[in-house]
Amino acid sequence: MAKDDIEVELKFKLDEKDFLEVKKKLEETTKFIRKVEQSDEYFTPIHRDFLEPKFPYEWLSIRRRSNKIILNYKHWYPEGVEVAKYCDQFETEVKNSDQLEKILLVLNFKKLVRVEKKREVYMFDDEFEISLDNVKDLGYYVEIEALKDFGGIDKTREKLFDFTKKIGIDTSKIDKRGYPFLLIKKKGLI
């Protein structure tokens, strides 16, 4: 969404067949931007465990993006619900991920999981960024992020759902919690 520090996106779990059909549709209707491999290491502070609520709403990660290292914090709203609508997102580039990780560990942050994905990014009319993700240990996903404000969070989400249907995704396959939650659950940490 156009407002700085606010992110509105939808994510869908697909089987390989549906994933390839969506990819074909995107190749016909959108602009291909790039193909990348990404890695995100998630942490939680010991003194305020992000995993304590039934539905965690905060994430802190060190993101590795090609030649960039980014410290990222997300706070999802509404808090503590199964399906969040949007998040505040704050991030800054750092020079040394090893030193940053040492700082977090010394400050009593605990490593949770690493999310590793192969991503293809597409753009639709400077309105949506569409990412096709093959996530290690989780499978195939499509993430659609609004790049502008369509008149508030609810209207922006409506536009995201409309676009999702246009590219042939069954909206009932929405992922409600995100990659870190799914991997944490898979590891039995919650």
32: domain CATH number is 2.40.320.10
145-86-188-70 Cα dihedral, nearest 10 degrees: 60
**Residue 136: inside a domain:** yes
Q: Yes or no: say if 153 and 71 are a contact pair by the CB < 8 Å rule.
A: no
Which pLDDT does position 1 carry in this prediction?
A: 56
Q: Using the CB atoms, write b or e for 129-160: b if 16+ within 10 Å.
A: bbbbbbbeebebbbbbbbeeebeebeebbebb
Which pLDDT does position 66 carry in this prediction?
A: 84
Which pLDDT does position 189 carry in this prediction?
A: 85
**Residue 1: inside a domain:** no
**Residue 190: inside a domain:** no
Choose among 16, 58, 18, 1: nearest CA to 172: 18
Which pLDDT does position 102 carry in this prediction?
A: 96
Which pLDDT does position 5 carry in this prediction?
A: 84
Per the structure, the complete domain to which residue 71 belongs is given by 6-185
Q: Which residues pair with 106 in a beta bridge?
A: none
- Give kind and range of the element (H or E) at residue 156: helix 153-166
Count of domains in the chain? Answer: 1
Note the pTM of the prediction, 2 decimals.
0.91
21: region left, alpha or beta (phi > 0 left; psi from -120 to 50 alpha): alpha
For residue range 139-172, list pLDDT tens digits in order: 999 999 999 999 999 999 999 999 999 999 999 9
What is the longest distance spanned by two Cα atoms in the chain?
49
**Residue 111: inside a domain:** yes
Q: Which residues of the chain have pLDDT under 50?
A: 2
**Residue 26: inside a domain:** yes
Q: Yes or no: say if 59 and 42 are a contact pair by the CB < 8 Å rule.
A: yes
